[in-house]
Amino acid sequence: MALLNFNPPVIAHRGASAYAPENTLAAFTKAAQLGVKWVEFDVMLSADGEVIVFHDDSLDRTTNGKGEVVCYPYSYLRTLDVGAWFDARFAGEKIPSLQQVMALLSEARMSANVEIKAPLGQEKALVLRVLDQLSTYLLSGQSTILFSSFSMDALHLLRQHAPDCLLGMLLHEWEPHWEKNSALLKCDAIHVNQAIMTREHAQHIKHMGKPLLCYTVNDAARAQELYSWGVDAVFSDAPDIIMRE
Ligand code: G3P
Ligand code: MG
């Protein structure tokens, strides 16, 4: 199994999403140009089972379409504009498929944190499709792939169907049974909302011997504080601001 190594200790959140529209090829290209080695992105299923790289359940915020993503086939979703809302310079940017993003990252020799975002009941369909599409990368080890999810069901499915995969538990709050679940799932990393992170929590997780990642940090001073507590890497929309320090 590949070892987790975060150097520089920054993960471009949805790509370099402060400088290009989130979860687009433009945002991943920008991350590569900034010298980042890891990107995080969100994956969902279209109505016809294509794995797409997209964050919201709804199309409204970041596209020129409307409604729920899961209602539309990829043949329609791929026609939408996901760049113009961010800046006219990015008009014409499209929702990428997982395959397109992985091809770019592989070419740039970058590592991927694939965050599984499945609506309730769709976890199995999404996890199986993602594992199928990533099988070449997972077998060859040519790109390090770290999966994560807020969904315990999705994490269990990943561990069940890909026993050797790298798994990160995502915590927005300190949930009551997170440590037990992390042990059960043999999680390889813990990904925590930076707003709830304290020195004590960080030390505790580091004593467990797990890599600790915090999202989303766009302030260099906060990143330095988290590093001083033992945090291994932060997710940032503006990785260059963090790396400059
Ligand atoms: O994976 C870290 C972070 O992306 C989790 O929250 O909502 O930005 O996907 P969100
Ligand atoms: Mg995410």
Can you give 62-88 as a three-state secondary structure string? CCCCCCEHHHCCHHHHCCCCCCCCCCH
Active site residue 13: yes
Q: What is the pLDDT of residue 143?
A: 86
pLDDT value of position 101: 98
Residue nearest ligand 1's atom 4 by CA: 13
Q: State yes or no: is 161 an active-site residue.
A: no
Q: Which of 14, 155, 166, 216 should be mutated for ligand 1, with most atoms under 8 A from CB?
A: 216
Ligand 1 binding site (Cβ under 6 Å of any ligand atom): 13, 40, 42, 55, 115, 148, 170, 191, 215, 235
Q: How far is the CA of 105 from the centre of ligand 2 (A)?
A: 17
Nearest CA owner, ligand 1 atom 5:
215
Question: Rounded to the nearest whole angstrom, what is the distance from the C-alpha of residue 163 to the centroid of ligand 2?
Answer: 23
Nearest to 11 by CA among 168, 196, 173, 181: 168
* Residue 2: per-residue pLDDT: 52
Could you identify the atom of ligand 1 that is nearest to the CA of residue 213? 2
Atom of ligand 1 nearest to the CA of 235: 2
Q: What is the pLDDT of residue 214?
A: 98
Query: In the chain, where do the E strands start and end?
Result: 10-13, 38-45, 51-53, 111-116, 145-149, 166-171, 189-193, 212-215, 233-236
Q: Which atom of ligand 1 is nearest to the CA of 14?
A: 4
Average pLDDT of each block of 10 consecutive residues along the chain (245 residues)?
85 98 98 98 97 98 98 98 98 98 96 95 97 94 93 98 97 96 98 98 96 98 98 98 88
> Where are the strands (E) in 77-227, listed by range?
111-116, 145-149, 166-171, 189-193, 212-215
Rounded distance from Cα 118 to ligand 1 centre (Å): 13
Ligand nearest to the CA of 148: 1
Spacing, Cα 55 to ligand 2 middle (Å): 7
